[in-house]
Chains A and B, each alone.
Chain A
């Protein structure tokens, strides 16, 4: 595609439910990043993939959060047993090789009731 695509754009769920957020990076980009942005704050790094492997997952807040990128393209961020504090905008970005400019998607807004 022309840019980074994230789905869904909005997700409302109930506390305790499981959620998946999808990111489709720019074609050919090997590096993929997930960030979380709370209201009124800057984005915070969650995890970085180079190809299929997670090169750095130091930003994942706890073991309820998990991300995969099985074929080195699309990535899914998975959140188990959601909590109200997980409510945020989840941003995905990709870059051509991990050393160049990041291109961000428009984000998936998650609301946990």
Chain B
């Protein structure tokens, strides 16, 4: 079955540092790929998505590129802020009527210090 693997955390950075959170997947066909974020005390929120190979999703300074050749969807941000401290989840779906049936990675806790 489909699966998503994220780099093990937690990740601790100083403000303005560069962030990369690795995500690789195993899936049949051409899944859609997502990054979700969970801020303390809040529900999961969609951060960005990409629906086909070589697409780049971006939002709030975060970017991720759908790399089919390496089955990866790494999350990057050039300069993190304290407010980016959260748990980040990589996920995929097979789309169509199964669009909301997501397979999630285990999550990466990010802590950004001033």
Closest to B89 in A: A42
**Does B28 count as interface, using CB distance less than 8 angstroms?**
no
CB distance from B17 to the nearest CB of A (A): 24
Which of the residues A41, A59, A93 comes within 8 Å of B107, measured between beta carbons?
Answer: A41
Bound together, the chains give a CA A105 to CA B102 distance in angstroms of 15
Q: Which of A33, A100, A101, A104 contacts B43 (CB 8 A)?
A: A104
Contacts of A4 in B (CB 8 A): 43
Interface size class of B (residues with CB under 8 A): 20 to 34
B97 CB-CB contact with A under 8 Å: yes
Task: Encode contact with A along B77-106: 1 for CB under 8 Å, 0 otherwise.
Answer: 000000000000101000011111111111
Partner of A104 from B44, B99, B101 at Cβ < 8 Å: B44
At the interface, yes or no: B27 with Cβ under 8 Å from chain A? no
B69 within 8 A of A: no
Q: Which residues of the other chain, A, contact B91 by a CB distance below 8 angstroms?
A: 42
By a CB distance below 8 angstroms, the chain A residues around B41 are 106
Asked if residues B101 and A91 are in contact (CB atoms below 8 Å), the reply is: no
B97 touches A102 (CB 8 A): no
Interface centre among B41, B46, B98, B106 (most CB of A within 10 A): B98
* A55 in contact (CB, < 8 A): yes
CA gap between A107 and B79 in the complex, in Å: 31
* A window 83-113: CB within 8 A of B: 91, 93, 95, 98-107
Closest chain B residue to A31, Cβ basis = B100
Interface residues of B (CB under 8 A from A): 4, 41-46, 89, 91, 96-107
Known: A45-B101, A56-B98, A104-B43. 11 other contacts (CB 8 A): A3-B43, A40-B106, A41-B106, A44-B104, A55-B97, A59-B101, A99-B97, A99-B99, A102-B46, A102-B102, A104-B44
Interface residues in chain A, defined as those with a beta carbon under 8 Å from any beta carbon in chain B: 3-4, 31, 33, 35, 40-45, 48, 50, 55-56, 59, 91, 93, 95, 98-107
